[in-house]
Amino acid sequence: MAKAGFIYYSVDTNRYQDIRIKKLKKHHGRDGVAIYDYILCEIYRVKGYFIVWDESTAFDVTDYWGMTENAVKEIVKYCGSVGLFNQELLSGGVITSAAIQTRFLDWSKKAKRSPNSYIIQEKHIILPEECIKIPEEIDKEKESKEKESKEKESKEKEQKGENYARDVFFENLILEFFGFNEISHLDKLKLISACCSAQFYAGRLDFFKKQFEDYQDWIGEIGVRYRHNFLKFMGNQANRFADGSWNEENWGQKLLDRKKSITQYQQQTDRGVAAVIDKFSNIKMRG
């Protein structure tokens, strides 16, 4: 079973400016702060976000610090009253707090632990629901909200009458790239315009333009014979052109990767040629 606790933990440098710590020190002196720090350390070391407060734990604390059990219990009780520990859970024999649970989740994520290894038990949860969700749930909700936001933005643009202002020059660039012209292939120009309009309302027109620009450079690098079919490149209008080849790859990155690969190949070739020349030069010298 994966370890829930940590071998070390970070501490806020302004912790002693916390009014609750100041009150603890005023009422219980240095012993109060020492007991509080000791219990925090045990929480983070063993369970990560809580510790059971019973006679056994109380004995461990008193034994370590050489204090009376009543004194230790009074300090812990005071920590609950000022909010350093959650008072409700403390009365049920559990020491934890919202701050402790927040740090537990944050440190577990930074340590890249498996999401299932740092789940807070329902009976101990203090934090709001949105704070304890595992990363996968957060990512799904984020994607869903982004999608809803884009759809809402698109509808608002249409309702406000914000129409796509055609970039005729850009549309003709695509047309000519695939070997067509405006006079003989008006249907294809209309399709390009419809695609640009769809990307405009989806908030992706700039991305579409950049993808086409990078695709041009890619084809220029590998040869026209590898160019996609026009309709395959544009995609299906029923799917708002999202299934087009222009959207299948990061064409700019693909081009960079190819150039990097060619450079590495040339360097290897140059080293090989240099090695052969050096070898024959040594043979000639010995001869």
Q: What is the pLDDT of residues 269-284, one digit of tens each?
A: 777 766 666 666 666 5
Residues 19-50 have pLDDT tens digits of 999 999 999 999 999 999 999 999 999 999 99
Residues 124-181 have pLDDT tens digits of 888 665 444 444 444 555 566 666 666 666 555 554 446 778 888 899 999 898 888 8
Answer for the pair 55, 11: CB distance below 8 angstroms, yes or no.
no
Within 8 A by CB and 6+ apart from 179, the residues are: none
Element housing 52 (H / E): strand 51-52
Cα separation, 220 vs 223, in Å, equals: 6
